[in-house]
Structure 1
Amino acid sequence: MGSILRKFKDRAYKKTLMVRNGATVLKELIASSHGKYNPYRIFSAKELEIATNNYDEREVIKQCDFYITKLYKGFWQERLISVLKFDESLPDSVYKYSINNIVYAAQMDHKHILKLIGCCLETPIPILVFEYGEYRTLPERIGHYRDPQPRPQFEPLRLKHRLKMAIDIAHALAYLHVGFPRPIVFRHFIPSRILFNEENVAKLFDFSLSISIPEGKTHVTHRGMGIWELCAPDYKKIYVFNETLVINEKYDVYTFGTVLLELLTGQGARDLLLTYGSVRHLIEYLNNYLENNRFTEIADPIIVQDLSCTGKEHHLQACARLTLECLNESPVYRPTIVDVAKDSDKFIALFHVINLLYSSFFMFSFSPASISTATRLFE
């Protein structure tokens, strides 16, 4: 009799949570997207327990900052999935992060943003289910973050791979900024928010802190939140006093610059700040190396030693200049992410042209086909 009563109470409790969470998600989703969002599946708590082997700690893909979330590897209907679970013992703010994730992820339709498959609404804090993205985060792929759990080993990331990743993510951010009636500021763009699938395609994920700019406005005011070392100076200055601040797309541009810096140097932002003391000193050092054509001295040795890359110094210099533009102390002088994406496209096109012509040179001929291919890259 007691077990039947417990089952009945459990069922009633889950139904209450479903109604509360479902109503909250629907309300926020309609307000944010005007009813235009992708269909997603509703999972039961039991389905996700089975899919993750009862949230087996050995299946954790990554543990997010401050232990707020864990991303688990799961298996559902003969396909691999990623399950994002929030720590239910934390305050109400975590509930808001979960809802925010669902609201924004449900609107995304971009090959470089991790696709939302569905969510579970019958738990105190909703659980999200995404396409599979277990092939490490960007810090792990670069090598400046060591995961205690054994993972598959990958070849070192060459410059062409890093340029491709930067371009792909720049296009994903540009999609957020200009692909919606209300521009979306990702606001938590850090290297650990970039995952890879089995095809080595970079995927942006986790919309916990994302926010939309109201229609007809150029910015939104909000309380400061973010990773201290990676915050833009204009953002950090007000964050110290825990006040509201102006947020627009240029904040994402700044954090994109920090990611570019990590791609070029192979070092984490925190490590770089420990070495140089402050962002301002770091930028002064970068400028000095650039002006004296010595950037290879602080570039990732994997890039510098890559003999397969022709025109390497030119690409490093160009990317470093773009990085410094993104890290400009004043948001007014930072480029838009659309401009960044266009410049990045030019870098990779030039990279391919140089390597194409270099290969043709060693074949002792510049074939019409190779010249035609090079021309198309700039069309």
Structure 2
Amino acid sequence: MEVADVSALTRRRAAALDDRRGLGSAQWLSAALSLVPADVERPWVWVAPDGGPALVGWGELARFEAVGPGPVASAWRRFRDWAAGHRAGPLAFGSFPFDPAQSGFLVVPRFTLVRAAAGEPTWLIAPAGEPEPRPRDHVHRDAPRLEFTTAPGAEQAWARAIDASRAVLADPDRVEEKVVLARSVDAAADRPLSQVGVLDWLGTRFPDCWIYADDGLVGATPELLVDVHDGVFRCRILAGTRKPGWVQELLTDPKEQHEHALAVASVTAHLEQAGLSAPLLHGPYLLELPNVTHLATDITARVAPGRSAADVADVLYPTAAICGTPRAEAFAQIKAVERLDRGRFSGPVGWMGADGSGQWGLALRCAQFEPGSRRARLFAGAGILPDSRAELEWDETGSKMTPMRQGLARG
């Protein structure tokens, strides 16, 4: 645990946003990002669609790291104990890796702007005595020159990994039903990219997604793993993808329907263990995004007393949508053939309150920026079933990277 020397935190109205309480999510994000100082390279962001919870922060007061089983709840409990000494009710941003052998974290920014919902005031949580943030002057920047590259032989290696996984999935003596494989593309720019600019564009372009930024991991995820507020749980499960123009296939293709059913079952099978009631399901329905369309199912349930969003996230993760099923066997197959360090791609990303409320998405449609923000790595994954075709899955993952390719050009 790393904690800065800080006086008591205060919570006060954010004067610069006091007349913006009616803004939609994207407009609020743009206004809040204008208050981030120009010298901040890596802001902290979580903005839900439809006027849901919205947070923007910068700086760092405290960091709570965790590794191994139950990492989200482990980090949250230490954050909760620390937050008990601050009456302002601090909030923590979090990001955890796909591989539980790697470390994840919760971070309390030095400055946090937070709006509970559209129509509510925006609050500033910051150390006592810190000045009120003011909008910075707009500075015109020419579009960056970007180069996107894949490792030599990447497409051939992808095909081999899919063929090997298909063989396992087709083996009647094996239990694996689905494996999710990922690949990456590297981006290099001729100047430092603005993560603020990328986030602003993502918020406008993808209003149905959760916009996030955590320690240089920037993205717009359409998939909500956990939302716990006032004793109610909800999530959104995605599996089954088509490019625009091929949407009707999602409703008739047995492969896509089966893949989606596996993803839903991977969540519902763990709800009781997570302390949730019998669920209500809405779906599958079509979630149409600018670059792709997904099959989606929303789930709601009641949360048992004493269960936090962190507790639920640890039980439900990893889902079949980003790992496969059964979990342990799918994870082992991924480690055997993927040859990629996902880092925090496809891991839980979100925020927590000390009271146990919070939201966690899956870190999809994202790029991990290197320090200096001249280089970034884009990630995407695809669900592999026995009848998957490597060339189609390559194209699908390319489509999933389109948002970040376009977003980096706005940086």
Instruction: Give the TM-score of the pair, scaled to structure 1.
Output: 0.28
Q: Which has the larger radius of gyration?
A: 1
| Greater percentage in helix | 1
| Greater percentage in strand | 2
Structure with higher RCO (Cα < 8 A, 6+ apart): 2
